[in-house]
Amino acid sequence: MKRDDCPICGKPADPATKPFCGRGCKDRDLLQWLGEGYRIPGERAENDVRSGLDSDADAD
């Protein structure tokens, strides 16, 4: 894969949607981020934002 190829499908990148070849691959990448498809391995944080509760927050 060349440097200017789409990271999703490998086709040549379109300047309007660079580094992607088009809107389809650009949207597919965004959905990966939103759906937590891209993750960095590591330990789970104590105060997980997704839980909606902070251990230091007061419950009124």
Tracing tokens 């580094």 back to the chain, one arrives at 19
Amino acid present at 27:
D
Spatial distance between the Cα atoms of 4 and 14, rounded to a whole number of angstroms: 9
Distance, in Å, from the CA atom of 38 to the CA atom of 32, rounded to the nearest integer, reads 6
pTM for this entry: 0.60
What is the CB neighbour count within 10 angstroms for residue 15?
6
User: Mind listing the pLDDT tens digit for each residue in 1-44?
Assistant: 667 999 999 999 999 999 999 999 999 999 999 998 888 888 87
Which burial class, exposed, middle or buried, applies to 8 when counting CB atoms under 10 A from its CB (0-12, 13-18, 19+)?
middle
pLDDT tens string 20-31: 999 999 999 999
